[in-house]
């Protein structure tokens, strides 16, 4: 078996951060260009090859080819070139390729990641910001592609897919949260990932990201996006802080009424109804739950009706217990109609030991998922 000697050359600019601060972007860019020119001349003279991994440094944990093309394919690198470059890095053992259900995921060795991160920092604030923005936009599109499937019978597959990307999703959402111009992106993350966060018991993470952005001056630019994020934040707040949940829930209901958005109002009423139950005020929650259920029936949306029945059942069980059995049967029927027999059976079985709200939230992908 032939054996070859492979030599790696890692270069760095000493005290690069201090040098950037002293020279400014323009002066440091010239130093960086001189450095690259010197290294490339040496490589050309000795038959070497340059490997640039700085774009990959922004990924958290692993990534797939689509993500690499979206994040690294800009500037001098075309997206179609990324696959070959990534293959080259794998061949040189700078990137690890791992099979994942027929597709490959990639990850950098930690030493290579650190080196690439330094290179990205040296490239300047503009390039680092461009990479971060591309990473954020790509994983927002991944979240929004998954969102319509999370309340359906294939939710397990889609939840698992998002589990694989959870570290990248978190980094992308945190980037949007830290960007003064990222308000719309973060609200979109909140709407797209709400069912995922709730299914994976990450309500506190969701609330921590959404609550501050709801108060930004530009948060209401898209009223329906703001209203949906507000309603989701109200539900996320319930296991974290009931007072906050009630405050956000009342705001969500009022805002939905102003918008005349029936779907948003149904969701907001159902959430506030359930929150009043957990706050020990079932009498205040009952009329909200009743309105939510009646509106959902008129709309003819099985999933919304099942979600509305969840909160209404809790309050009704305390105040009008004779109706609970009938309402529960209706709720399970709605889950069976919209999600299939397996999900309905799981909701019913869990309802024997859990609260009805928890059981139905489980079936709808809004509570813990097995």
Q: For tokens 């709309």, name the residue.
A: 299
**Does the pLDDT of residue 293 top 50, yes or no?**
yes
pLDDT of the residue at 82: 80
When divided into structural domains, the chain yields a total of: 3
Same domain, 245 and 353: no
Same domain, 116 and 175: no
pLDDT of the residue at 79: 76
Same domain, 308 and 225: no
Mean pLDDT of 307-325: 76
Query: Which of 198, 229, 258 is at the close of a domain?
Result: 258
**Does the pLDDT of residue 8 top 70, yes or no?**
no
Q: Is 281 within a domain?
A: yes
Which stretch of 38-42, 230-234, 277-281, 307-311 has the lowest confidence by average pLDDT? 38-42
Same domain, 103 and 171: no
Q: Is 115 within a domain?
A: yes
**Does the pLDDT of residue 25 top 60, yes or no?**
no
Read off the pLDDT of residues 124-145 as tens digits, 9 standing for 90 and up.
777 778 888 888 999 999 999 9
**Does the pLDDT of residue 71 top 70, yes or no?**
yes
pLDDT of the residue at 255: 98
Mean pLDDT of 335-347: 52
Q: The domain that contains 158 carries what CATH number?
A: 1.25.40
pLDDT tier at 266, thresholds 50, 70, 90: very high
Q: Is 9 within a domain?
A: no
Q: How far apart, in Å, are the Cα atoms of 26 and each of 17, 33, 185, 326? A: 14, 11, 31, 73
Same domain, 30 and 120: yes
**Does the pLDDT of residue 294 top 60, yes or no?**
yes
Which residue has better confidence, 151 or 47?
151
Q: Is 344 within a domain?
A: yes
pLDDT of the residue at 366: 40
Proportion of the chain above pLDDT 90, given as a percent: 37
What secondary structure letter does DSSP report for 216?
S
Element (H, E) at 107: strand 103-108
Q: Is 45 within a domain?
A: yes
Closest to 232 measured CA to CA, from 187, 290, 175, 279: 187
Q: Is 306 within a domain?
A: yes
Query: Which of 242, 258, 274 is at the close of a domain?
Result: 258
Whole-angstrom distance, CA of residue 203 vs CA of residue 192: 14
Mean pLDDT of 257-284: 95
Q: Which one of 158-162, 184-188, 333-337 scores highest in mean pLDDT?
A: 184-188
pLDDT tier at 2, thresholds 50, 70, 90: very low
Mean pLDDT of 211-220: 94
Same domain, 55 and 98: yes
Read off the pLDDT of residues 182-210 as tens digits, 9 standing for 90 and up.
999 999 999 999 999 988 999 999 999 99
Cα 253 to its chain centre, rounded Å, is 25
Query: Which of 258, 274, 307 is at the close of a domain?
Result: 258
Whole-angstrom distance, CA of residue 291 vs CA of residue 221: 28
pLDDT of the residue at 189: 95
**Does the pLDDT of residue 357 top 60, yes or no?**
no
Same domain, 119 and 144: no
Same domain, 276 and 172: no
Q: Is 241 within a domain?
A: yes
Read off the pLDDT of residues 232-261 as tens digits, 9 standing for 90 and up.
999 999 999 999 999 999 999 999 999 999
Sequence-distant (6+) residues with CB within 8 A of 161 are 146
Contact 99, 106 (CB under 8 A): no
Same domain, 82 and 151: no
Same domain, 30 and 76: yes
Read off the pLDDT of residues 82-125 as tens digits, 9 standing for 90 and up.
888 878 877 777 778 887 666 788 877 766 667 777 777 777 77
Proportion of the chain above pLDDT 70, given as a percent: 68
Q: How far apart, in Å, are the Cα atoms of 143 and each of 44, 137, 151? A: 43, 10, 14
Q: Is 8 within a domain?
A: no
pLDDT of the residue at 57: 41
**Structural domain for 154, as ranges:** 137-258
- Mean pLDDT, the chain, rounded, equals 77
Same domain, 106 and 145: no
Same domain, 185 and 201: yes
Q: The domain that contains 88 carries what CATH number?
A: 1.10.10
């Amino acid at each position: 078996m032939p054996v070859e000697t492979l030599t790696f050359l890692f270069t760095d600019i000493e005290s690069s951060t201090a040098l950037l601060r002293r020279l400014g972007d323009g002066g440091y860019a010239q130093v960086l260009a001189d450095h690259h020119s010197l290294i490339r001349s040496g490589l050309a003279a000795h038959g070497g090859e340059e490997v640039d991994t700085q774009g990959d440094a922004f990924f958290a944990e692993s990534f797939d080819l689509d993500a690499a093309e979206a994040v690294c394919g800009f500037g001098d690198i075309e997206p179609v070139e990324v696959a070959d470059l990534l293959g080259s890095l794998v061949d040189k053992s700078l990137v690890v390729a791992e099979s994942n259900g027929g597709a490959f995921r990639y990850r950098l060795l930690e030493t290579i990641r650190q080196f690439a991160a330094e290179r990205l920092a040296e490239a300047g604030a503009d390039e680092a910001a461009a990479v971060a923005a591309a990473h954020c936009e790509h994983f927002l599109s991944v979240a929004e592609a998954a969102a319509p499937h999370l309340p359906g019978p294939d939710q397990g597959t889609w939840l698992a897919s998002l589990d694989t990307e959870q570290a990248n999703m978190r980094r992308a959402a945190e980037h949007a949260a830290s960007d003064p111009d990222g308000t719309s992106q973060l609200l979109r993350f909140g709407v797209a990932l709400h069912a995922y966060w709730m299914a994976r018991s990450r309500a506190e993470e969701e609330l921590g990201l959404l609550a501050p952005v709801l108060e930004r001056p530009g948060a209401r630019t898209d009223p329906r996006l703001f209203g949906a994020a507000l309603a989701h934040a109200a539900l996320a707040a319930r296991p974290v802080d009931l007072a906050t949940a009630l405050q956000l829930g009342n705001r969500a209901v009022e805002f939905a009424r102003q918008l005349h958005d029936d779907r948003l109002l149904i969701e907001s009423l159902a959430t506030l109804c359930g929150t009043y139950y957990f706050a020990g005020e079932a009498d205040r929650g009952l009329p909200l739950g009743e309105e939510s259920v009646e509106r959902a029936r008129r709309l003819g949306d099985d999933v919304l009706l099942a979600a509305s029945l969840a909160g209404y059942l809790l309050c009704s069980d305390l105040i009008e217990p004779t109706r609970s059995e009938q309402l529960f049967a209706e709720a399970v029927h709605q889950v069976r109609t919209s999600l299939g027999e397996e999900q309905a059976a799981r909701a019913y079985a869990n309802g024997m030991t859990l609260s009805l709200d928890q059981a139905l939230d489980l079936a709808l992908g809004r509570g813990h998922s097995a």
